[in-house]
Structure 1
Amino acid sequence: MSPKLQKGEELIKGLRPHPLAFYRLYGIWVYIALVGVYFSSSPSIEILEMGPETSARVLWWLSILVPAVLIALFRINWRWLVALAIPALLAFYLPGQLEYTAFLEKWGLLWLSDQNHILTAFGVLGILGTEEHRRSHRYYITNWRLIMESGHLGVHRRTLLYKNINDLVVEQSFAGKIFNFGTIIPITASGLGLGDDFSMAGAAVGTRAMIGAGGGKTVSTPRGRSHHLLEGVGRPEQVHDLIISLMHSQS
């Protein structure tokens, strides 16, 4: 679907994120699905002096919660801990619930009475949801501005005139270098397109009385939500050069 253009405005290029742009999100849900597949094979596990059943249960929880905490810390977003803990809690709680079992019998889905099959199903749903999330992003380059949208039911839209762009940053991961995709971050004078990283150091000396000193430094780094930038677009250098040429034509 093309954006609504102003009189005299022309659409030059429409873009979507590369199929591998959200590969990290795909990887998270593939991992969850594989945990379910692995434990559904009833592996023989013994941890310390715990029995096989207890060992498998402990390892099952650790296999989900430890990566969930690490992902939440790495992405600086604790919603990931909740997002990954909920499937585990439901997979652990639902089997054996009479209402749930009756529902499965009614619809012929008794294979979902196993907690590992439930976990695998959540992983598959996560993969499909990530793909739908990727497809919901739409980027348009016109002769006047950049238009960045995401969402199907609710739409997030950012419009940026070329005259307001001070800088363009291109970021490519190792996978992006191989498959030729990357993120283009437009930065404005007001700071749109920038986020803050904060580092701090301190020291204290004392016997009875404590003397302390500390200092911190905030560094602005290119960063933004996926609808505030061109996330994972193919051939980013060509797109970058196109936008630069349009910026010059507007100056």
Structure 2
Amino acid sequence: MDKEPELMDGEECVMRLSPHPLSFIGLYLIFLYPVILGIVFGIYHEDITGYFSDLFLMEAAGLWTAISIWWLLLIVPAIIIALLRITWKWLALYLSIATVFTLLKMYTWVELIHMNIGLISIGVIGLVISDYYRRQHRFYITDNRIITQLDFLGKKSRSLMYSNINDLVIRKPVLGNWLNYGTILPVTASGFGLTDNMSIAGAGIGGSGKRSGFGGGLGFGGLKSMQDPRGRPYYILYGVRNPEKIYRLISEFIRETEATPILKKISEDVETISKQGLDQDPGDETSEDTEPKDNTTS
């Protein structure tokens, strides 16, 4: 049973959310690729080896040629993944897998077919763990704040009051437009929810004198930085269903939060004025009716 977050006095949990299964499709594909590679290479390794041998003008006779191509098909996609996701952990994982199986092939009875079976097994295990990781993300919308939690190899939690939210950003991927899921990023005044994206461009010209042996060069460079709404899945409302509905709900809570201090100030001012009116001296509001005295004497 999922453990609910501890709420404040009078606080009500309005909505409980979790990521859509396809919101983690990028992570699933990272482990699905080894499964596909293991199946395809295990069945068609001779044809694949022959194709790449002709492509790179290599001899296709040896087993190590097949293993080299197996390495190539495993590591090149890992490099692409590392560059796209701006992290080298996936390249390190794929390198570790390839190295371990190659060493097992060199020093034990393991054959190429066993290497492919092992690759398939690791991919399947990775898919199971990835889905478990997705399901451990839990999001709670209350009438006072947004609570995000992740219970995976430890616990990470974030609580964000509506009064601290300056902006809401909603993003829907291509599949999200079809299946109605997306990510909502709350941005605070301190910049939480924003990341810096940097791009660098450069150019250079160089030359050397044939006789003197001296060289010279001229270079130009440029750096551009911009802030982009982005965050880790366990600190934002990542891949939730019906994002527009949730966006409107949170926006309404933010509006109420902004209006509350104003209404409170108006109420206090009215109460102060009322007290001042009651404390004032009413003065002589009534006068006695007296008959005019007759000053004439007979």
Normalised by the size of structure 2, how large is the TM-score?
A: 0.75
Note closer, same or farther for the CA distance 1:87–1:212 as it changes in structure 2 (3 Å cut): closer
Q: Which has the larger displacement, 69-78 or 231-240?
A: 231-240
- Which segments of 5 or more consecutive residues in structure 1 lack a partner in the other structure? 102-109
Which residue identity does 2:18 align to in structure 1?
Answer: R
Paired position in structure 2 for 1:243: 250
Residue pair 2:105, 2:111 contacting (<8 A) in 1 also: no
Between the two proteins, the alignment pairs up a number of residues equal to 241
Which residue identity does 1:245 align to in structure 2?
Answer: E
Residue 32 in structure 1 maps to residue 34 in structure 2? yes
* Shift in Å, 1:183: 0.9
Please give the alpha-carbon distance, in whole angstroms, between the structure 2 residues aligned to 1:60 and 1:29.
Answer: 16
Q: Which has the larger displacement, 45-54 or 239-248?
A: 45-54
Instruction: Pick 1 or 2: higher relative contact order, CA cutoff 8 A, min separation 6.
Output: 1
Match of 1:51 among 42, 55, 60: 60
Q: 1:174-194, CA deviations, whole angstroms, 9 ceiling, x for partnerless residues?
A: 111111111111111111111
Which residue identity does 1:13 align to in structure 2?
Answer: M
Residue pair 1:96, 1:113 contacting (<8 A) in 2 also: no
Note closer, same or farther for the CA distance 1:210–1:153 as it changes in structure 2 (3 Å cut): closer
Please give the alpha-carbon distance, in whole angstroms, between the structure 2 residues aligned to 1:206 and 1:97.
Answer: 51
Residue 175 in structure 1 maps to residue 175 in structure 2? yes
Residue pair 2:166, 2:187 contacting (<8 A) in 1 also: yes
Please give the alpha-carbon distance, in whole angstroms, between the structure 1 residues aligned to 2:95 and 2:220.
Answer: 39
Please give the alpha-carbon distance, in whole angstroms, between the structure 2 residues aligned to 1:156 and 1:25.
Answer: 20
Superposition CA RMSD, Å: 2.3
* Shift in Å, 1:206: 6.5
Note closer, same or farther for the CA distance 1:204–1:64 as it changes in structure 2 (3 Å cut): closer
Q: Which has the larger displacement, 71-80 or 210-219?
A: 210-219
Q: 1:171-228, CA deviations, whole angstroms, 9 ceiling, x for partnerless residues?
A: 1111111111111111111111111111223344566554444321110001111111
Please give the alpha-carbon distance, in whole angstroms, between the structure 1 residues aligned to 2:254 and 2:93.
Answer: 40
Residue 231 in structure 1 maps to residue 231 in structure 2? no
Which structure's residues are more often helix, by fraction? 2
* Shift in Å, 1:113: 8.1
Residue pair 1:112, 1:118 contacting (<8 A) in 2 also: no
Q: 1:219-238, CA deviations, whole angstroms, 9 ceiling, x for partnerless residues?
A: 00011111111111111111
Which residue identity does 1:228 align to in structure 2?
Answer: Y
- Which segments of 5 or more consecutive residues in structure 2 lack a partner in the other structure? 208-214, 259-298
* Shift in Å, 1:129: 0.8
Please give the alpha-carbon distance, in whole angstroms, between the structure 1 residues aligned to 2:98 and 2:171.
Answer: 34
Select the structure of larger CA radius of gyration: 2
Aligned pairs for 1:1-251 within 5 A = 1-44=3-46, 45-46=49-50, 47=53, 48-52=57-61, 53-95=63-105, 114-204=114-204, 209-251=216-258
